[in-house]
Amino acid sequence: MTTATEAPNPASAPSMITRVTAILDTFDSSQRCRSLQEIASMTGLPRSTAHRILEQLVELGWVQHAATSGYRLGWRANHMPSRANEDSQLRAVAAHHLFVLAVQTRLTIHLAVLDGPFVRYLDKIGRKSSLVPSRVGGTLPAHLTAVGRVMLAYVDPERLDLMLERVRPGVDAAALHRDLALVRMRGGLSTLHRSPLAPVACIGAPLFDAEHRIAGAVSVCDAGTGEPLDRHAPVLLERARRISAKLAKVEATAGE
């Protein structure tokens, strides 16, 4: 018999964690798109409840939403399962080319990936690298780095705006969109003549996977020496292309 002081039985309604899990389980692959009606039907949740939870998941990066195709898993969910393996693979593929860049330019070389609105550094080698405010395993705001702007230039604009919400205030979104358009016009080459983070200059180039999706980026940094970097752009772009080609080949072999 239930007394007046006993709490109601929580089993009568699913918890928030249960509802969130049910929604995420409707996406059986990273490419699966679902409409709001599909998700509500598959989970048994009221449409209004499903919509409210989905919008919260969108804000946090677990789900992304496009008006034409519906909902799909977002950057945070997609990065969890195999991100460590992917990072190790990219670092292994790029290692030789980073060394060549360091020898040819005698400057600091970075290898990085995008982690939401931040860049996460996988490797850093070269001359006077201690003078550059980055470290392997560390993160910096992507929009304040050349290597980060390279990757942001290839992010869907709608997703980019959601990502920038996490680092505002202080980001002029309209100006950043214009800068990223120039990066794409230059074939993916991004230049910061003076970083807001330190008195250094950097140029970055994109890395693509087998599906031509952005997989990371490499950069050359002058470590505050003031050395002109534009002359290093051709070799940087060439090494970036070679890394991308090798990465695509490795991915194709792994898929056989």
Residue 256's pLDDT is 55
Amino acid at 86: E
Res 73 pLDDT > 80: yes
Lowest mean per-residue pLDDT among 40-44, 234-238, 244-248: 40-44
Predicted pLDDT of residue 10 = 43
What is the predicted pLDDT for the residue at 84? 64
CA distance 256 to 90: 19
What confidence tens digit (pLDDT) does each residue in 88-121 have?
889 999 999 999 999 999 999 999 998 888 898 9
Distance CA 83, CA 69 (A): 25
pLDDT band, very low/low/confident/very high, at 174 (cuts 50, 70, 90) = confident
What domains can be seen in the chain, in order of their start residue?
A: 10-79 (1.10.10.10), 83-254 (3.30.450.40)
**In whole angstroms, what is the distance from residue 9 CA to residue 230 CA?**
68
Q: Residue 157: pLDDT above 90?
A: no
